[in-house]
Amino acid sequence: MIAVVFTIGRVTAVLLATFANVGFVCAAELPNILVIVSDDQGNADAGFQGSKDIPTPQLDRLAQSGLRCTSGYVTHPYCSPSRAGLLTGRYQARFGHERNPRYLPENHDEGLPLSETLFPEYLAKAGYVTGWIGKWHLGAAPEFHPEKRGFMETFGFIGGGHHYQNWKPGNAEYSLPILRNGRPEAVKEHLTLAFGHEAAAFVTRHKDQPWFLYLAFNAPHSPQEPTAERLARFAGIQNKGRRAYAAQISLMDDAIGETLAALHATGQEKQTIIFFFSDNGGPHGGEASNAPLRGWKNDLYEGGIHVPFLVSWPGHLSAGRDYPEVVSSLDVASTALAVAGVQTPTNKPLDGVNLLPYLAGNRMGAPHEKLFWRENINVATALRAGDDKFIRIGAKPGELYNLKLDLGEKSNLAVLDAKKTARLQSEVDGWMKQMSKHLLFLGLRDIPEQSWPGEAGEEK
């Protein structure tokens, strides 16, 4: 079924409504879509996740206005592949994007392949103003830049990480110029706060037209460079690394709060659906906490892929409750296209689902029967099917866990239930046959640390 969409300002008429299965009014204003992504934030490192030493009042307010998805996942345990899955709505293993591309502006291979369409491109054609603010990390050559991938307004850095303050702009990855619509612009304030100001300005500027904003913070990714004022607030945290990390999260919380305040001031709260999650789990090293999960960033154990995950749409989704079923960052694209009345592509089907009927209670059951993961083809694979989690690392025997009873993945049940283990392994092998058999680019993990781009091997 094809949806024909006519847009006049904010008001839209949707014919042959694919919007109907969302469970909301068909002929209505197009909702805004705000996707906020933090970088390397631990599962336990937010107030709404139970943190006692890192208060996040703005994120807590967002959680209270919507749903906390307690089984929220991303598609990969580190930065660039996770973002590739988010923005395409497809398993990045389908097109071999399973490493962090090197920052090589002259290299036309190391980036999210041009054969893939990012969902903002569809939204732009449906009448949305599309914006990106923050971290890109999906290719440094000009054709990979956000302006060429469906974003009309852009502000941020192209590489995989950046200094937060007092950097001298240059060619090193972590000191690159901040670009506005592709042109360098000086930034004098703390970078996280600058992203918050930009997001609030975008929200305000486009209050009379439908918009999509991808607000991709690099906080709390290293290097930890909070303001002195914010660091002093966390003097009670004895671990120096965690103290700085907590201050970084606090600054990000402020920036998110400024964005939410702009929504409120312009009367857009009830017409804006918001997603928040981290791009992967917190890194090992004493700064982050993924409790009660096992593992860290880079792992396919829960600590690498099970992340803080919120969805809020006041007036459409009930507020202040937990949603226990499995959801994925893959679902953002499918949900966004559904609320925009855009038919999902048929030549390259999306792997996510429209979450809104499930979150609103109009459709029963779980959004996903199964979710799969793969890192670098043969490094690790995983499958979640209901409460069961299968994981295989390299040539080691497969492991089996019951996440309902053992979220921390402490009791390997593979030997006790060999039949189920074999069945799940067979399902992973079958899924693997549908994925790419080749990696698009070498990626950082195959390069000696001393030769990594950036500064002092900061991007790990």
Identify the sign of the CA torsion 376, 100, 151, 222.
positive
Report d(CA 237, CA 53) in Å as an integer: 7
Active-site annotation holder among 79, 145, 306, 368: 79
Query: Is 79 considered catalytic here?
Result: yes
Structure tokens at 274: 């918001």
Question: Is-contact 103 174, C-beta < 8 A?
Answer: no
CB 425 within 8 A of CB 398: yes
Choice among 137, 145, 206, 221 that is catalytic: 137
Give the C-alpha separation, 412 to 74, whole Å. 23
445: Cβ–Cβ under 8 A, 6 or more apart, which residues? Answer: 99, 100, 376
Residues known to be catalytic: 79, 137
